[in-house]
Chains A and B, each alone.
Chain A
Amino acid sequence: MKQLRYDLILIALLLLLSAAAWLLLRPRGEGAVAVVTVDGAEAGRYPLSEDRTVWIESPGGYNLLTIAGGAAAVTEADCGDHTCVRTGEIRLDGQSIICLPHKVVITVEGGEADGVDLSAH
């Protein structure tokens, strides 16, 4: 039965190894960036792979862009309609959040394609 202990150690090690390999080698949505434009001019690009919050100042006010878990969303804004906040999360290539009052557009470029649009094409 002592052998069984070594068997279990080996199995546990291999399971850990596959988990580690999965963490290291999983396909990431690398290259996907959130591109922010204010009144038509690019104001910044932020990779979706890094969590962060971005304060977007525009002549009309502010929008708070939050990037978390590979998705971008406007979580706060002082615009009138809050359409940007209600749009929710975007993560797929070509998706965008638009705040008309502030003339702010946030678009995802690169990364995973939007399957719905692909099949529509």
Chain B
Amino acid sequence: METKHLTRLGLLTALALALSWAESTIPLSVSVPGVKLGLPNLVVVFALYRLGRREAWLLSLVRVALVAATFGNAFSLWYSLAGAVLSLLGMTALKAWGRLSPLGVSVAGGVLHNLGQILVAMAVLDSGAVLAFLPMLLLSGTVAGVCVGAAGGILVRRIRL
């Protein structure tokens, strides 16, 4: 990997980590756990379009590991990991499909992230009770995806690396 490329990737990963932390300091929802803006996804979407698929995966997975190692915990690691992997799978597939703009890809990523977390919660708690959160998480994932995706779309268009 070229040094310049590596540096960019490192910078963006650091940015994603910083956004994760910033987001963790603003609790958005009191009643439904897992509702959040998904600011780090801004960087992931940008990386997906401007650096490449491999880089986006690397960035996102390293971010999850760093969050767990710094201000997260072993428990939250599994939630984030499932969310990140499902979201990455969906976003890379949809980007390859080519019909969606970064906005749509980001929306899918947001919703899939929440879906991954719910699946882990169901497995961990061995109960379908968390499904009651599904409607709110679908809705919040969509809305957050639109916000983050709109911003991400602008970044992808304006910033050429």
Chain A interface (Cβ < 8 Å from any Cβ of B): 3-4, 6-7, 10-11, 14-15, 17-19, 21-22, 25-27
A-B contact pairs, 22 of them (CB 8 A): A3-B99, A3-B100, A3-B101, A3-B104, A4-B101, A6-B99, A6-B100, A7-B107, A7-B149, A11-B146, A14-B138, A15-B139, A15-B142, A18-B136, A18-B139, A18-B142, A21-B134, A22-B136, A22-B139, A25-B132, A26-B135, A27-B132
Residues of A within 8 A of B93 (CB): none
Give how many A-B residue pairs fall within 8 Å (CB-CB).
51
Classify the interface of chain A: helix, strand, loop or mixed: helix
- Please tell me the size bucket of the interface on B: 10 to 19
> Which residue of A has the minimal Cβ distance to B101?
A3
Inter-chain contact B135/A18, CB cutoff 8 Å: yes
Indicate which residue in B111, B135, B149 contacts A22 across the interface (CB closer than 8 Å).
Answer: B135
* Most chain A CB within a 10 A radius of its CB, from B131, B136, B138, B141: B138
**Nearest A residue to B137, CB-CB:** A18
A69 vs B103: C-alpha distance when bound (angstroms): 40
Q: A14-B142, A15-B142, A18-B142 are in contact. Are A7 and B135 (CB under 8 A)?
A: no
Contact of B101 with A7 in the complex, beta carbons under 8 Å: yes
Cβ A11 vs Cβ B142 within 8 A: yes
Q: Cβ of A21: which chain B residues have Cβ within 8 Å of it?
A: 134-135, 138
Q: Name the B residues within 8 Å of A4 (CB-CB).
A: 101, 103
Q: Which residues of B contact A11 (CB under 8 A)?
A: 104, 107, 142, 146
Asked whether B108 is an interface residue with its Cβ less than 8 Å from the other chain, the reply is yes
- Determine which of B108, B136, B138, B139 lies in contact with A10 in the assembled complex, contact meaning CB atoms within 8 Å: B108
CB distance from A16 to the nearest CB of B (A): 10
Residues in B neighbouring A6, C-beta threshold 8 A? 99-101, 104
Within 8 Å CB of B101, what residues of A? 3-4, 6-7
Most buried by A among B101, B135, B141, B149: B135
Q: A10-B108, A15-B139, A21-B134 are in contact. List 14 more A-B contacts (CB 8 A).
A: A3-B99, A3-B104, A4-B103, A6-B104, A7-B103, A7-B107, A11-B107, A14-B107, A14-B138, A18-B138, A22-B135, A25-B131, A25-B135, A26-B135
B104 lies within 8 A of A10 (CB): yes
List B61-101 residues whose CB lies under 8 Å from chain A: 99-101
Query: For the complex, what is the distance from the CA of A19 to the CA of B142, rounded to whole Å?
Result: 12
Residues of A close to B99: CB separation below 8 A: 3, 6
